[in-house]
Structure formats: C-alpha cells, structure tokens
Amino acid sequence: MATDKAKPVPTDEAPVQKFDLAQYLKDVRAELDKVQWPNRQQVISESVAVFLMVSLSALFIYLIDSLFFTLSRLVF
C-alpha cells in the first residue's frame, strides 16, 4: 500500500485586487448611461395600467370573498 500524500493543486486565480470606489462609481455611471429610460408618456401609461389591474384584482377578490361569506352564512 502506497503512502502518497495529496499534492496541492495549483490554482489559476488572479491575485485579489483592492476595492476602488472611484472606479466602481465610474463603471456604474457608464452602465447607467447605457440604460434606455422611459419617457413621460410611457411612465404615465404603464402606471395607469398597473393601477387598473390592481383595482380589478382587488374588486375580484372582494367579490369572491363576499360570495363565500354569504354562502357560509347560509350554511352555518
């Protein structure tokens, strides 16, 4: 039986770099410049759509809850 010791495997990791806040902020700024921001009309239109869907969902849940409440009052 051989007594081979496990040899450490060499890693190809780059040395750890120090965090550079200024470079990070420059990179963030560069990425934000690439973003295509919505115009005012798109924001208004999408906000109205979200408000309408939330209102309809709330109304639907209210109606189903009222139906179950009424049915439970009749049964019990």
Domain boundaries, the chain: 39-76
Whole-number pLDDT of residue 16:
78
CA 45 – CA 42 distance, rounded (Å)? 5
Q: How far apart are CA 49 and CA 47, in angstroms?
A: 5
Give residue-wise pLDDT tens across range 43-75: 999 999 999 999 999 999 999 999 999 999 999
* 3-state percent helix, strand, coil for the chain, nearest multiple of 5: 65, 0, 35
14/66 Cα distance (integer angstroms): 63
What lies within 8 Å, CB to CB, of 13 at 6+ separation is none
Residues 46 and 38: beta-carbon distance below 8 Å: yes
Q: Indicate whether 12 pLDDT > 80.
A: no
pLDDT at 10 over 70: no
